[in-house]
Amino acid sequence: MFTVAMTNAELQHEAYLDFLELKGPIRIAFGNFRWQMNSSGKKNPYCIHNIVQTKTYRTKRNNTWQIEFHSNYYTRENAMIGGYVIYIPLYRGELTEYLFLRSIDDFFPEKITSHFVQRYKERYLLPNKINTKGMNAALYFQRHSDDMRPTDFYPENWSEEDKENKMIWLSDQGLFVTHMEDKMRVYITFLDQENLSCYKAMIYEEENLMRLYNEGKKIKDPIEQAKHMAYIYKQPNARKIQERYLERTTDYDLPDREKIIKDCLKAWDAMVKATFQLLDKVRELEVDADRIFR
């Protein structure tokens, strides 16, 4: 049974034992939910929209999990595409944390801290006047964070230790911070508007550099192209901006991701060297021509 004094490692162990028990019943229940929704949809495809079905499951270890099945959308053939959320509140005195299981196929628990929930409310739900339709804030966040993707952005006040142990994610809702403890992702805090604005400014800087770069590649005359590229390469922190762009846009799931980024930066360095060598050669020829025709 989950207790107030449990460490994160103990929480993971307890959750894993429950996970083994939950897998079968939830798989069956979700199959029944999809069958019911698909059967109803075939009879009347216009009467079903955003259907939610909630259940509770008490494990042999006396832990009561909340389970939500929901419809996401229907295909043209009226087949329901749905999902589920499995979670349990963890009461820590006056504070409440939440433990989520995103999948019954793989054990990957996620803990949403009370601090995260509070900052999420203050910095996203309340300013944007979000109607959670009865969902608690943690559940609303989980239901709307499927688009989360990692960033290489760090707030200015972060230490090297922070950068080593934490990760910042971006979703349509904003920026938030996590760290990993064994197999459990812990959601620490939701960042404020200042950090989001800073992140957007960095993206603008990256995209602007790449826009100039792509315009330069279209220039046919090699000398004019070199002059254009030299202007880009002389921009303050141009290489660092290019590195940030590669970190942000290179697929995190690629097994050779780091090698791809390193190879791109090597190519960038080679182009910089070749560009300035060409311009130096052009200047030498211009000087020689002045001497001849003076």
Q: Write the pLDDT tens digit of every residue in 152-203.
A: 898 989 999 999 999 999 999 999 999 998 889 999 999 999 999 999 999 9
List Cβ neighbours of 116 (8 Å cut-off, separation of 6 or more).
138, 176, 187, 188, 189, 190
Residue 211 predicted with pLDDT over 90: yes
List Cβ neighbours of 127 (8 Å cut-off, separation of 6 or more).
193
Angstrom CA distances, 257 to 47, 112, 199, 246, 252, stand at: 46, 29, 22, 10, 7
Q: How much is the mean pLDDT over the chain?
A: 90
Task: Give every strand in the sheet of 174-181, ordered side by side.
Answer: 52-58, 64-74, 80-92, 95-101, 109-112, 184-190, 174-181, 167-171, 149-150
Angstrom CA distances, 140 to 59, 75, 114, 248, stand at: 24, 24, 14, 26
What is the reported pTM?
0.80
Residue 81 predicted with pLDDT over 90: no
pLDDT number for residue 7: 92
Where are the extended beta strands (E) located within 93-166? 95-101, 109-112, 149-150
Query: Would you tell me how many other CB atoms lie within 10 Å of the CB of residue 181?
Result: 15
Cα gap 292→144, rounded to integer Å: 71
Amino acid at 31: G
pLDDT number for residue 182: 86
Percent of the chain with pLDDT over 70: 93
Residue predicted with more confidence, 284 or 228: 228
First-last CA distance in the chain = 93
Mean local confidence (pLDDT), 102-129: 95
- Identify which of 49, 79, 85 has the alpha carbon closest to the alpha carbon of residue 67: 85
Cα gap 213→245, rounded to integer Å: 12
